[in-house]
Amino acid sequence: MLISSHSMDGLQTENTGLNSINNENTEEQYRALAYDTALSTLVAVVFYVVVKVSLDGIRQWRARISVLIVGSGPVGLTAALVAVRSGKVLKLTLLDERYRTALLCRPQQIALDPRSVEFLLELGVDFDNMEGCWHNEHFFTKIGVFQEYLLSILEQKRQKVEIKVQLGTKFTEEYLRKIPGSDWPRVIVVADGSCGDSCSVLGISSDYTVESCHAYGANATIERLDQRQVPTPEIRAHSLFFDLSAYGVEALREPKSSAVKPGFHLKIYGTFRNRYMALVCPASDTKMVRFLRHTANSSIMKNIFHQSFNAYKTDIEPRLNDLTLHRMQCSRRLFDIQLSHRRVSAAYIEGDNVSVTVEGEAVRVLNFDTGCGVNLGMRGLESLGTFIYHTATAVDQNDMLEALSAKIQHSRQVAETFRQTGLAHTMFE
């Protein structure tokens, strides 16, 4: 059969047309397949992410841990409140070696500065329901009143969190050994004060870094049992110079420094029954400061406190006279004010899967009473809620270590900030 070339050409053209249609179809099919695959992968990824985020969210939301707090001083009790407010605590145990009466009857009062007041308000503390007084935005109350109030709030939180308060119970190795395995805490907060030894029970180093605050100070206490034990505002006096000419020291005025007011700064605080005094001056090498730093005559310091008390006390409290002066105890001379803070402020105990954080005077303490000491402890607690949250929701050890590292960093920052500006806020202003 003969087929003309013309018709052959037509056939080829037709075939080419058919091929290109086929190619186009296949390409379209491939494109549709690729699109379908991409879409289903995307849907799977989105589904996976949504499920994971929801499961993580549920896990984080459900995560609850046991927390043990050692020490029921103002810092330990506030730590307990922070723990309860974190929403991540299932069981809270609070210890103190003192029984209730001994715990609540300490004579000192505490002065909460505006930042601590703000912090405590956020935790639900109602200052209107606490015996105390306000002065210059500071709240003054007896340490026992504050502790009792916090214990009563914790009592009310018992419906939400299982809270066990064990007063008259010392934290020891034996106490630790007796905790049943199922009750082991995931977080231990050590707030056992400046004399506590709970860190050594947990194997935490007792090494301290001691740093000068670049100021000299002296403290005095007066106990007068016939006076009232009610919260009393503090009194501050600045730029004081003492006449020590009787001891051969001229009261030469120091050159004015722009940072702080020159001379000595005095604070009278505490209740009328337990009066405390703090005297501070910026570190310098003037003749008077040198003399008061090195004198062997302890009656000079006593005289300074005596005169200062009578000059600046409130009108309604009696003067100190030669008969009542023996009730005053004071530093023999001016000393360098130093802040000591633990080298290890938080630790992870691997075998037991427990994170430990040290708070309050157990972690940082001054060798000088400023009359505002409790605020330093409150600063450290500002990172406790986040620490508990991150520890409770940690997926693995890395997460726990990250939480600890942030806590340690914050603790260092609290100490450093105090060294830079703390005395200025509590004494020089």
Question: Which residues make beta-bridge pairs with 92?
Answer: 67, 163
Residues binding ligand FAD (CB under 6 A): 70-76, 95-98, 103, 108-111, 143, 170-171, 191-193, 196, 198, 269-270, 276, 360-361, 369, 371-374, 377
Classify 278 as helix, strand or coil. strand
Backbone φ, ψ for residue 259 (5° rounding):
-75, -50
CB of 277 to ligand FAD, least distance (A): 11
Q: What angle do CA 193, 127, 230 make, to 5 degrees?
A: 70
Under DSSP, is residue 276 helix (H, G, I), strand (E, B) or coil?
A: strand
Q: Which is nearer to ligand FAD, 143 or 213 (CB)?
A: 143
Between 232 and 288, whose beta carbon lies closer to ligand FAD? 232
Closest to ligand FAD by CB, 202 or 288: 202
For residue 173, the one-letter residue type is E
Print burial letters for 211-245: b (CB count within 10 Å at least 16), e (below 16). Answer: eebebbbbbbbbebeebeeebbbbebeeebebebe
Nearer to ligand FAD, 268 or 392 (CB): 268
Q: What residues contact 338, with CB distance under 8 A and at least 6 apart?
A: 210, 211, 212, 213, 366, 367, 368
Q: Which is nearer to ligand FAD, 307 or 367 (CB)?
A: 367
Minimum CB distance to ligand FAD smaller for 198 or for 345: 198
Q: Tell me, letter by letter, the H, E, C secondary structure of 346-410.
A: EEEECCCCEEEEECHHHCEEECCCCCCCHHHHHHHHCCHHHHHHHHHCCCCHHHHHHHHHHHHHH
Q: Which residue is nearest to ligand FAD (CB)?
A: 73
Smallest gap from residue 300 Cβ to ligand FAD (A): 22
Our CB check for ligand FAD shows the closer of 72 and 308 to be 72
Least Å distance, CB 261 to ligand FAD, is 22
CB of 267 to ligand FAD, least distance (A): 9
Token couple for 405: 């590292």
- Choice between 242 and 387, CB closer to ligand FAD: 387
Minimum distance from residue 359 beta carbon to ligand FAD (Å): 7
The CB-of-78 to ligand FAD minimum distance in angstroms stands at 8
CB of 140 to ligand FAD, least distance (A): 8
Cβ atoms of 109 and 142 closer than 8 Å: yes
To ligand FAD, the closest distance from the beta carbon of 244 in angstroms equals 27
How far apart (Å, rounded) are the C-alpha atoms in residues 60 and 62?
A: 5
| CA–CA distances in Å: residue 332 to residues 295, 296, 306 | 8, 8, 13
Q: Where are the alpha helices (DSSP H) in 219-354?
A: 287-294, 298-312
- For the chain, the residue count is 429
Q: Which is nearer to ligand FAD, 64 or 91 (CB)?
A: 91
Q: What is the nearest approach in angstroms of ligand FAD to the Cβ of residue 193?
A: 3
